[in-house]
Structure 1
Amino acid sequence: MLDFQEIPYDWLEPGTYLEVKPNYSDLGVLPYPVRNLIAAQKLATGTLAPGQVVEITRPGQAEALFGRGSLGAEMIEAFKAANRTQPLFVTALADAAGSVKATGTLTFAGALAAATVLRFRIADRPVRITATAADDTLALAVKLAAAINAETDLIVTAAAAASVVTVTSRHGGEVGNDIDLRVDVEAQPVPAGLSITVGEMAGGAGNPDITDVLDLVENDWYTAIGHPWSDATNIAAFEEDLRRRYEAMSKLDCHGYVFKRGTYGQLSAFGDLANSPFLTFGGLSRSPTSSWVACASLMAICSFHLANDPARQLRSLVLKGVGSPAGVDQFTETENDLLLRKGISTFKHLPDGTVTISRIVTTYKVSNLGVPDRAWLDIMVPATMSRIRYDWAAYVSLQYPRAKLIDDEDSAAFVGRADEDDEIGTSVVTPRRMKGTWAGRCRLYADRVWIERVDETIRQSVFERDEADKDRMNARQPVQIVGNLMVLAGSLEFLA
């Protein structure tokens, strides 16, 4: 039953002929081909044309491709700051035709008694001006507008009129509403006699259509996709595409990431937009960091650590480059718990302003029948199942590339064979042999602590030849994904 790929079965010429080929019987878990994709808006100065996908190896490439001060450049910078090793691909969309740019204001009132430095944070980037006692509110507005415009990496521009600085998003669309404006009183208080009122960014409307991106990469392998558009239309299209990718006949497993700044009520409504095991929403209230920056950072961290171990929770990992909301704006424990039930991932805040991951969940909440269901609650579930599915399918392709399929009971195949696995090579497979192969892989997954109760998994797995199609094998392969210590509930008692 030895099988040869290169040596003819009826060769007569004397000589020694040796095929060289790998033996996959003891192959470890196969490397997972991670590929991250960011889709974002570009400015007119960006050289990346819509319809192109390019790989980013250095953060500096982003400015040329998307334009300096662009949304895309910020997302790429954030991703690369958190994840420098995994492949990152990007594609661009221009602002939607007719889109409206968000605007906000900073209004000066009062007067200064002495020279001072006034500090601001615009989209979480520091901006400062030196003010003198001779500066009236118009002069202060002019100085601030000039300082903002001098920061060419900022995603906004500014103009001064009277005592008001109007800040305008460089991009059209709803995304601009998530840009944060604030006076940095923590760095330096505003002196007595002067007041600065912030009018939050608003009025942006008309995001690009993500279907152009989804159609472009319809048949391409990406393990994570992140984008900045949180409107209902784009979320619905994204959710459907992720569902299609995960289907058995597609095998393009991919996880999606979207982030939003908002109040508890706004994020609750955001969570209701999707019900997908393959889509993660993040949310913070009044973080100084733009939502797309937080999205790119979250995707970078999740992609890196889930590739290392898809079954391990992400709690306590730092969300690099993301600023913490002020204490009054942080969600309470109860609000975080309720947000998790809405499909919104949650975060913790350290005293130094660092944001860490609390729990990363999917947006899946109810079954197709509307029944509450936690089967896909944590991001580790689809991540682990994707790794197992990829490894199993790839291993079977390597181990049995041209195998013949016969019944277990076919005596002609195994007469005199003490050990079928040692004797018949890879040219013949039976349901029993395939189950043995599956058992070996399951023990490998258990060694990595991806699954537990491995003996029960093997016992319950079923492989059988299809009754109507002699060329097909059907299988049922239940696995128990390993748990994670999320909650420790105890009763700490003392003797009275």
Structure 2
Amino acid sequence: MQGTPALRKPILLVGTRRSTGTVAQQIVTPITGPSDGAGYFGHGSQLAHMCEGFKNANPSGELYAVALDEDAAGVAATNTITVTGTATEAGSIPLIAGGRRINAPVAKGDVQNTIAASIKAAFDTDVDLPFSSSVALNVVTNAARHKGASGNSLSIVHSYYAGQKLPAGVTLAITAFSGGTTDPDVTDALAALGGEYYYSIVTPYTDDGNMDILEAELETRYGPMVAKPGQGLAALRDTYAASQTYGNGRNSPFSNVLATSLSPTPPWVCAAILAGVEAAENDPARPRQNVKLPGMLPPLVGDRFDSLQRNLLLLDGMSTYYVETGECFLERLVCTYQTKNGIADPSYHDIETMRTLAYLRHSLKARFQLKYPQAKLANDGTTFGAGQVVVTPKLARGEILALFDEWERDGLVENKAQFKAQLIVERNANNPNQLDIFLPPDLINQLRVTAARMGFKL
């Protein structure tokens, strides 16, 4: 065998379903197109939107989804739109509702109750909205399709795009979604996975309990007895202060959370888009930066995190993006890991470290399984006949050094002299059938900062 092996990147989306979906909860289902989720998990469902977001960002990505029913003890988040005034001109009410564009027609002379009814009717025409609506007089009340705290991250804004405005004489008072409680338990989704490998598991549930469960599962999968490493991806829609607090409260090399500020796009859709973009990168060590997040709407200008805030969020374990000409671009994808035993530790700060380590292990395992699938093990210096497939520590060491050359060629590692000096290959003292290997790779780094000082003369 020559050359480093390819790596499958199956992605798993976890999310809440509606009863109108054809696929029951806890069944892992392959997704081949952006509209699959609506049929499988119900129009307007959280998981349907996640499937759509991923597939629009990465149409050819290998994608699976597992649904959960809402928690019966939960409460759905709600918000209100209060209309006041009489339209003195014809026009429309331009809204971004749950990340989707809605326009409610308004005729000159329409009064507030009529306008509220028009908004409700416009909402009803889009079966994929993540909430249902009712109207009483001049107030439209919206309730998330699902019970759960994640519904508090839905939003409705008006006049989002440049040049948009409300018809003269009309004003809207839009409250934040609130009151949602008790997301489903992600344990139920993880129980459905069996021994399957997933490159990333994307969750909409960012409460501490569910994140703790997901991180523990990913740590187990990373360990030597399972050796199916993956990362957990999520997104948090909140203020700078709340995002900073959230990041400081987590500390795992297996979770990556994008701080979206007040993006109109629901955070679970942002997380799915992020997973699609990240999976499209075939090089585990290439920096996940300056990459467009297609379909993610930036916050209004006043709600965007500035460069200083984003830098501080990175130090708090929160991933960031920046906005350029109205589009969102991934800035840096970091793990929530920040400290070990209370001491600052940058070892697992960037996802590239985790991805590269996982790939090196994968390629080493593939090399020995494919080249020596039924080898015998002997001490160095043993004399054996031609045609005998026998591995000795010295032979294995040479194989590993040759593999290092391939890693180096692929831009994954550097400093072979150090690697060669510190590499240990020996038979286990207690188990004669076991070969022990200590690998000390110096991982290649990423170009994050280009610093130049200008010296000039007149």
Pair 1:205 & 2:181 matched: yes
Q: Give the aligned partner of residue 304 of structure 1.
A: 280
1:487 and 2:446 correspond: no
The AA in structure 2 aligned to 1:472 is: Q
Q: What's the counterpart of residue 118 of structure 2? A: 143
> Any idea what the Cα deviations from partners look like across 1:454-491, whole Å, max 9, x if unmatched?
23212321111122322111111100111111012332
- Give the structure 1 partner of residue 311 of structure 2: 337
The reply to whether residue 46 of structure 1 matches residue 21 of structure 2 is yes
Identify the range of structure 1 (119-128 vs 436-445) with the bigger mean alpha-carbon deviation. Answer: 119-128
Percent sequence identity is 30
Seen in structure 2, the aligned counterparts of structure 1 residues 80 and 426 have a Cα distance that, compared at 3 Å, is: farther
Name the counterpart of 1:348. Answer: 322
Q: Is 2:379 the counterpart of 1:404? A: no
Question: Match for 1:215: what amino acid?
Answer: A
1:337 and 1:282 mapped to 2: Cα distance? 13
Question: What amino acid is aligned across from residue 366 of structure 2 in structure 1?
Answer: A
Q: Does 1:294 align with 2:270?
A: yes
Deviation at 1:218, TM superposition (A): 4.2
Alignment of 1:46-445 (within 5 A): 46-186=21-161, 187-305=163-281, 308-351=282-325, 353-367=326-340, 369-410=341-382, 412-413=383-384, 427-445=389-407
Q: Does the Cα contact within 8 Å between 1:44 and 1:67 map onto a contact in 2?
A: yes
Aligned ranges for residues 442-481 of structure 1 at < 5 Å? 442-481=404-443
Question: Deviations along 1:417-460, whole A, 9 cap, x unmatched?
Answer: xxxxxxx5561111010000001111001100011112321232
Q: Secondary structure at the match of 2:293?
A: strand
Residues 185 and 223 (structure 1), Cα distance of their counterparts in 2 relative to 1, 3 Å cut: closer
Task: Tell me how far apart the structure 1 counterparts of residues 388 and 297 of structure 2 sit (CA, whole Å).
Answer: 56
TM-score normalized with structure 2 length:
0.97
What is the distance in 2 between the residues matched to 1:221 and 1:185? Answer: 41
Q: Distance in 2 between matches of 1:398 and 1:131?
A: 68
Relative distance call for 1:400 and 1:128 in structure 2 (3 A) is: same
Shift of 1:241: 0.8
**CA 160–447 in structure 1, closer or farther in 2 if over 3 Å, else same:** same
CA distance, structure 2, for counterparts of residue 321 and residue 388 of structure 1: 33
Can you list the C-alpha shifts for 1:5-46, whole angstroms capped at 9, x where unaligned?
A: xxxxxxxxxxxxxxxxxxx2xx21112122111111100101
8 A Cα contact 2:96 2:160, kept in partner: no
Q: Which amino acid aligns with 2:344?
A: P
Structure 2 residue identity aligned to 1:254? G
Q: What's the offset of the Cα at 1:214? A: 1.4
Q: Which amino acid in structure 2 is aligned with residue 70 of structure 1?
A: S
Q: Secondary structure at the match of 1:200?
A: coil
Q: Offset of 1:325 from its aligned partner?
A: 0.9
Tell me the distance in 2 between the aligned counterparts of 1:188 and 1:235.
39
Structure 1, residues 259-301: CA drift from partner, whole Å, max 9, x if none? 1111011111221342111210001111110001100000111
CA contact (8 A) 1:48 1:91 kept: no
- Residues of 2 paired with 1:440 and 1:471: CA distance? 23
For 1:108 and 1:86, locate their aligned partners in 2 and report how far apart those are by CA, in whole Å.
Answer: 43
TM-fit CA distance, 1:197: 1.1
Structure 2 residue runs of 5 or longer lacking an equivalent are none
Contact residue 106 and residue 167 of structure 2 kept, 8 A = no
CA positional deviation for 1:185? 5.0
The 2-side partners of 1:379 and 1:236 are apart by 18
Q: Distance in 2 between matches of 1:229 and 1:483?
A: 32
Query: 1 CA distance for matches of 2:160 and 2:228?
Result: 48
Q: How many residues align?
A: 457
Q: In the alignment, is the contact (CA less than 8 A) between 1:442 and 1:458 conserved in 2?
A: no
CA contact (8 A) 2:89 2:168 kept: no
Asked whether the equivalents of residues 239 and 274 of structure 1 are also in contact (C-alpha less than 8 Å), the reply is no
**Residues 298-357 of structure 1: CA deviation (Å, up to 9, x unaligned):** 01111121xx10000011110111001111111111110110011110101012x10001
Q: CA deviation at 1:215?
A: 1.9
Aligned partners of 1:99 and 1:471: how far apart in 2?
54
Which digits, 9 at most, give the CA deviation of each residue in 1:371-424, with x for residues without a partner?
1010111110010111110111121011111211111133x348xxxxxxxxx5
Aligned-partner residue type, residue 74 of structure 1:
H
For 1:120 and 1:55, the matched residues in 2 are separated by: 33
RMSD over aligned CA atoms reads 1.4
Q: What secondary structure sits across from 1:168 in the alignment?
A: strand
CA distance in structure 1 between the aligned counterparts of 2:364 and 2:160, rounded to whole angstroms: 56
1:17 is matched with none
**SS in structure 1 opposite 2:64?**
strand
Task: Name structure 1 gaps, 5 residues minimum.
Answer: 1-23, 415-423
For 2:108, the aligned partner's letter is A
Which structure would you say has the larger Rg?
Answer: 1
Distance 2:160 2:232 in 1: 36
**Residues in 2 aligned to 1:426 and 1:285: alpha-carbon distance in whole angstroms:** 62
Distance change (3 Å), C-alpha of 1:374 and 1:426 = farther
Provide the C-alpha distance between the structure 1 equivalents of 2:388 and 2:150, rounded to a whole number of angstroms.
55
Partner Cα separation in structure 1 for residue 379 and residue 422 of structure 2: 20
SS in 2 for 1:459: helix
Distance 1:212 1:273, change over 3 A: farther
1:418 aligns to what?
A: none
| CA contact 2:333–2:350 (8 Å) conserved in 1 | yes
Runs of 4+ in 1 over 4 A off after TM superposition: none
Q: Normalized against structure 1, the TM-score is what?
A: 0.90
Contact 2:54–2:276 at 8 Å: present in 1 too?
yes
